[in-house]
Amino acid sequence: MSFFDADIPFYAEPLETNRLLLRRLVMADAQDVFEYGRDPEVARHVLWDEYKSVSESRSYIRSMMRHYRFGDASSWGIELKQTGRIVGTIGYMWFQAEHRSTEVGYSLARPCWNQGLMTEALKAVIAYSFDTLHLNRVEAQHEITNPASGAVMRKCGMQFEGTLRQRLMNKGAYVDVDLYAILRSDYVSRSMYH
Ligand SMILES: CC(C)(COP(=O)(O)OP(=O)(O)OC[C@H]1O[C@@H](n2cnc3c(N)ncnc32)[C@H](O)[C@@H]1OP(=O)(O)O)[C@@H](O)C(=O)NCCC(=O)NCCS
């Protein structure tokens, strides 16, 4: 557990939406995680490299299982209820307990893109962040060359706060990112969540 996580234990309790079950990853999901994690298009705008073998997805799941055990920032697996398969992840990159804030990140298998699935997942995570974890601010950022991710954030009621120049180094190049956030006060005033 990191210093900043100290007062926000998070155990990735399951969350259900219309089409999705957000749940803890287990080792039996390694092949599903590998299937989408091997896709260079999925890995293009995230800070991990495409998987070369299923052992890399096993290592990822192992690290998530450690985080689950210690109540540390971690990700849910995204299970498509219709198939029972894991098609992505969504979760917390960090918590800052003293500021009641967090950053959310996500990725989804390419065959599932543009069906509103990540919007459905992110809305559930935002609601959980305010209703259950009692946070005040949820951030997300995306590379400016990844507009679909910005569209997801806006559809979930997050507000654009600015472009951070060369904020990250991704796959050998500095990249500009757009920062979005939603505050508790924005959330309570939005009827889409109630
Ligand atoms: C980004 C990502 C999460 C989007 O998930 P998704 O389930 O396809 O998102 P949704 O279907 O809920 O919404 C996608 C929106 O982006 C829009 N979109 C798609 N491609 C776009 C493009 N090239 N330019 C602008 N908008 C685009 C869609 O039209 C849709 O908006 P709409 O509902 O207003 O039409 C998914 O593509 C993904 O996992 N990509 C790989 C990993 C990644 O980039 N993760 C995010 C890192 S910040």
- CATH numeric code, 15-136: 3.40.630.30
Q: To test ligand 1's pocket by mutation, which of 35, 114, 163 has the most ligand atoms within 8 angstroms of CB? A: 114
- Can you say how many angstroms the Cα of residue 39 is from the centroid of all Cα atoms in its chain? 18
Tens digits of per-residue pLDDT, 91-134? 999 999 999 999 999 999 999 999 999 999 999 999 999 999 99
Measured in Å, residue 149 CA sits from the centre of ligand 1 at: 5
Which protein residue's CA is at the shortest distance from atom 44 of ligand 1? 45
pLDDT at 192 over 80: no
At 78, is the secondary structure helix, strand, or coil? strand
Average pLDDT over all residues of the chain? 95
Q: What is the pLDDT of residue 7?
A: 79
Measured in Å, residue 112 CA sits from the centre of ligand 1 at: 10
Which protein residue's CA is at the shortest distance from atom 12 of ligand 1? 116
pLDDT at 38 over 70: yes
Hey, where are the domains in the chain? Answer: 15-136
Burial class (CB in 10 A: 0-12, 13-18, 19+), 183: middle
Tens digits of per-residue pLDDT, 131-169? 999 999 999 999 999 999 999 999 999 999 999 999 999
